[in-house]
Structure 1
Amino acid sequence: MRQAIHHLHVHARSRGLVEFTLQVRAFVRETGIDTGLLTLFCRHTSASLLIQENADPSVRRDLERYFDALAPEDPQRYEHDTEGPDDMPAHLRTALTHTQLSIPVERGEPVLGTWQGIYLFEHRRHAQAREIVLHLIGE
């Protein structure tokens, strides 16, 4: 049994979904691990991780609009606003999604569906550099 770990930096220009599937695939290939389990962990409280369709961009736009409606920016609604009006809505959106994903690895590749991509879901309005920790265990 072997393990590999990598800290990946994903840059988001603004709120929304940023695909980083290719970087994950490259990490898995570089490890030489053929079969195992890949864990991805987002080290932030105002961004999250999703596996989502990567073929039709309207899916991403609809998700973003849905979360805007679910956790809107409204200064009258929230007590916590330390970093601005998008601060608490970002925390709510993270609470409703995931900061950790697990993906099986087979034949040296993450086992994803045909139209699945791995995304950072940035919940803040302004550009952010986010750190994602990748941990692969297997043989």
Structure 2
Amino acid sequence: MWTQHELTLRPVRRGFHLITREVVAAVPELASVGVGLLHVFIQHTSASLTLNENASPDVRRDFERYFNHAVPDGWAEYEHAQEGPDDMAAHIKTSLLGPSLTLPVRAGRLALGTWQGIYLCEHRDQGGARKLLLTLQGE
């Protein structure tokens, strides 16, 4: 079985945001899959996805602080600057973290670890709504 859904996430402030519930809710067929994979792809170049600790908000804040330190907005060496000081930094962060996740499905659920959750990583100050393409394959 193959199915595909598009999920539009509401605009959020810059940072790392748990979206596991929204992703699962957008794919009702997930409940009927015994074994499979869910591919989650973000259709943007200034926001990314990652899988990490889902319990402590400190982790999300530390991610944001680290990436802002490692890839600063408005660095004088950036050539691409016409879309604002956060744009090129957002593209680099997206390339580092990546645009997609492939997650295992088992017994009608995402087979994530106890403390794992899907993050939307919003790298722009005004990123807007974000679209995800969710592709489920399995039996």
TM-score range relative to shorter protein: over 0.9
Shift of the alpha carbon at 1:127? Answer: 4.5
Cα deviation per residue 1:39-73 (whole Å; 9 max; x = unaligned)? 00010000000111111111111110000011101
Answering whether residue 38 of structure 2 is matched by residue 70 of structure 1, we say no
* Aligned-residue CA RMSD (Å): 1.2
Secondary structure of the 1:79 match is: coil
Secondary structure of the 1:96 match is: helix
Query: Could you state the TM-score of these two structures normalised by the residue count of structure 2?
Result: 0.93
Please give the alpha-carbon distance, in whole angstroms, between the structure 1 residues aligned to 2:61 and 2:111.
25
Answering whether residue 28 of structure 2 is matched by residue 7 of structure 1, we say no
Shift of the alpha carbon at 1:75? Answer: 4.8
Contact 2:48 2:121 in 1 (8 A): yes
- Count the aligned residue pairs: 137
Cross-structure match for 2:46? 46
Please give the alpha-carbon distance, in whole angstroms, between the structure 1 residues aligned to 2:75 and 2:26.
41
Percent sequence identity over matched residues? Answer: 48
Could you list the runs of 4 or more consecutive aligned residues of structure 1 that deviate by over 3 angstroms after TM superposition? none
Secondary structure of the 1:128 match is: coil
Letter in 1 for 2:12: R
Contact 1:11 1:127 in 2 (8 A): no
Cross-structure match for 1:94? 94
Secondary structure of the 1:12 match is: coil
Cross-structure match for 1:129? 129
Contact 1:10 1:120 in 2 (8 A): no
Please give the alpha-carbon distance, in whole angstroms, between the structure 1 residues aligned to 2:83 and 2:125.
11
Contact 1:12 1:18 in 2 (8 A): no
Which sections of structure 2, spanning at least 5 residues, go unmatched?
none
Cross-structure match for 1:19? 18
Cα deviation per residue 1:4-47 (whole Å; 9 max; x = unaligned)? 1010111232211121111222244x212222111000100000
